[in-house]
Amino acid sequence: MQSVLVVFFLLTSIAMVSLILLQHGKGADAGAAFGSGASATVFGATGSANFLSRTTAVLAAAWFVIAMALGWYALQGADEPGLMDADPTQAAVPVKVVPPTDLPDIPEAKIEAVVSDVPDIPVSEAAAVDAKVEKTVEQAESATADPAENIKEQNAE
């Protein structure tokens, strides 16, 4: 029944839009007074306005009645549980995972030493660089607000 109402609702909507587009506005009557040919229509000079407006009113009333009926059917079907209303505690069907056995054996990869183009720093130079970095960090941490004192400390060292 609900699908039948939806079909009638759609047909009523299309018919109502068509009838509204067929009607001419109030400004079109002024053109008919000066001989624009409106009196040679199928419904006569004034007959089309009455017929189209009455038919539009009937279709509008039917459209509202069908809309109310569809709303009522939607409320009646709201009691049925939906997909999201399922019990979350209900366990799903367990799936048995079977490891694939038809895969070919993969030979183990040989790990080779990584060769770098960057030369290594000799150990004696590395210690000197580390000491210089530590000294610079200490100076930055112990810097005071007076730049003149910092210069005196650097010259004293």
pLDDT tens figures, 71-123: 998 888 766 666 677 666 666 667 777 777 777 777 777 767 667 777 776 66
- What is the average pLDDT score of the chain? 75
Do 73 and 127 reside in the same domain of the chain? no
How many domains are there within the chain? 2
> Amino acid identity of 114?
V
Rounded Cα–Cα distance for residues 59 and 66 (Å) = 10
Residue 85 lies in a domain: no
Residue 134 lies in a domain: yes
Do 62 and 8 reside in the same domain of the chain? yes
Do 69 and 134 reside in the same domain of the chain? no
Residue 116 lies in a domain: no
Residue 66 lies in a domain: yes
Residue 54 lies in a domain: yes
- Structure confidence at residue 31 (pLDDT): 58
Give me the percent of the chain exceeding a pLDDT of 90.
22
Q: Residue 9 is part of which domain span?
A: 2-25+40-79
Mean pLDDT of 39-48: 55
Residue 141's pLDDT band, with cuts at 50, 70 and 90, is confident
Residue 137 lies in a domain: yes
Rounded Cα–Cα distance for residues 5 and 11 (Å) = 10
Q: How many helices (H) and strands (E) does the chain have?
A: 5, 0
Q: Which of 48, 79, 110 is the last residue of a domain?
A: 79
Beta-carbon neighbour count of residue 82 at 10 Å?
Answer: 7
Residue 142 lies in a domain: yes
Do 74 and 131 reside in the same domain of the chain? no
